[in-house]
Amino acid sequence: MAGLVIANWKMHGSLGLIEEFSREWQLLPPLSEVSVVLCPPAPYLGAVSNAFEDVALGAQNCADQVEGAFTGEISVQMLSELGCSYVIIGHSERRALYSETDAQVAVKAALVIAQGLHAVVCVGETLEHRDAGQQDKIVIEQLLGSLAQVPCENLVVAYEPVWAIGTGRTATPAQADAMHGVIRSCLCEHFGEVGAGIPIIYGGSVKPENASVLFECDNIDGSLVGGASLNANSFWQIASAASAGRA
Ligand code: PGA
């Protein structure tokens, strides 16, 4: 499968950044064997959609309802209308700061897939769990809880160990590869043979300097990039490493 590299800008950026990023991006060589997705903050989806031709558009979250009196929420249908083809669901920041549960994540993922978009379901253990050697158990529980009633079409799983997000501390390629293997087995058990084709991407302090070694791992199909995705050149280097890892 081709690599998949997704930029998660979180609550960063501005119209100025989008202009600068797209200007720099257009000067960089085109990429092959890799799908590139930009997930800006929701108010900038239109601007990003207008500024780029060769990247897909994604959102960082969506409502767990189809429509109605839910002030401040954004439905999957609205995201679809704005051109989104991906939605990140259950990022650890949403789980930790906004108390999102596995059950809510599963509802959102099912809505995203029903609308024909790709759901990027995030899972990952805390440092406490890893230090206690419970990472596999925790991630499997989170994954199965987050996939209840979720079909496998258009599903992407992002493994993001919480202790590696924004900390500069990346999981070693061996740690990431091993967990992706655990996730792959779980997906195959849950969905049957088709589980083998679901992309599993890694996130947590991915940078141009560590991207190549991560993408050399058999079980790593791409990455979800936070901080390093705010700079066109850094993000291009990561996407380019993913493309080389697929060649
Ligand atoms: P980071 O964030 O690359 O800044 O660690 C990744 C993420 O939270 O998706």
- Whether residue 160 lies in the annotated active site: yes
Output the average pLDDT for the chain.
96
The rounded distance, in Å, linking the Cα atoms of 52 and 118 is: 19
In a domain, 170, yes or no: yes
Q: Average of pLDDT values for 180-196?
A: 97
Query: What is the enclosing helix (H) or strand (E) of 122?
Result: strand 118-123
In a domain, 27, yes or no: no
pLDDT in tens, 190-239: 999 999 999 999 999 999 999 999 999 999 999 999 999 999 999 999 99
Instruction: Kindly give, in sequence order, each residue whose CB lies less than 8 Å from that of residue 81, ignoring residues fewer than 6 positions away.
Output: none
Position in ligand 1 atom list of the atom nearest CA 207: 3
Ligand 1 contact via 8 beta carbon (within 6 Å): yes
In a domain, 223, yes or no: yes
- What pLDDT score was predicted for residue 247? 61
Confidence grade of residue 246 (pLDDT, cut at 50, 70, 90): low
**The whole model's pTM is what?**
0.97
Expressed in angstroms and rounded, the spacing between residue 125 Cα and the centre of ligand 1 is 14
In a domain, 151, yes or no: yes
Ligand 1 contact via 229 beta carbon (within 6 Å): no
Expressed in angstroms and rounded, the spacing between residue 204 Cα and the centre of ligand 1 is 5
Expressed in angstroms and rounded, the spacing between residue 171 Cα and the centre of ligand 1 is 12
- What pLDDT score was predicted for residue 245? 72
In a domain, 64, yes or no: yes
Position in ligand 1 atom list of the atom nearest CA 122: 9
Confidence grade of residue 135 (pLDDT, cut at 50, 70, 90): very high
Segments forming the whole domain that contains residue 130: 3-22+32-246
The pair of three-digit structure tokens given for residue 124, joined into one six-digit string: 């990952």
Ligand 1 contact via 4 beta carbon (within 6 Å): no
Q: Are 22 and 14 in contact (CB under 8 A)?
A: no
- What pLDDT score was predicted for residue 167? 85
CATH number at residue 62: 3.20.20.70
Instruction: State the catalytic residue, choosing from 53, 91, 141, 190.
Output: 91
- What pLDDT score was predicted for residue 169? 83
**Residue in 206, 223, 229, 238 to alter for ligand 1 test, most ligand atoms within 8 A of Cβ:** 206
In a domain, 235, yes or no: yes
Residue of the CA atom closest to atom 9 of ligand 1: 226
Expressed in angstroms and rounded, the spacing between residue 205 Cα and the centre of ligand 1 is 6
pLDDT in tens, 16-50: 999 999 999 999 999 999 999 999 999 999 999 99
In a domain, 177, yes or no: yes
Confidence grade of residue 121 (pLDDT, cut at 50, 70, 90): very high
- Whether residue 129 lies in the annotated active site: no
The rounded distance, in Å, linking the Cα atoms of 95 and 247 is: 35
In a domain, 37, yes or no: yes
Q: Are 224 and 242 in contact (CB under 8 A)?
A: no
Q: Are 8 and 88 in contact (CB under 8 A)?
A: yes
Instruction: Count other Cβ atoms within 10 Å, centred on residue 127.
Output: 14
pLDDT in tens, 66-113: 999 999 999 999 999 999 999 999 999 999 999 999 999 999 999 999
Q: Which residues of 71-104 are buried (b: 16+ CB within 10 A; e: fewer)?
A: eeebbbbbbbeeebbbbbbbbbbbbeeeebebeb
Over 80: is that where the pLDDT of 166 sits? Answer: yes
Looking at the structure of the chain, the number of domains it has is: 1
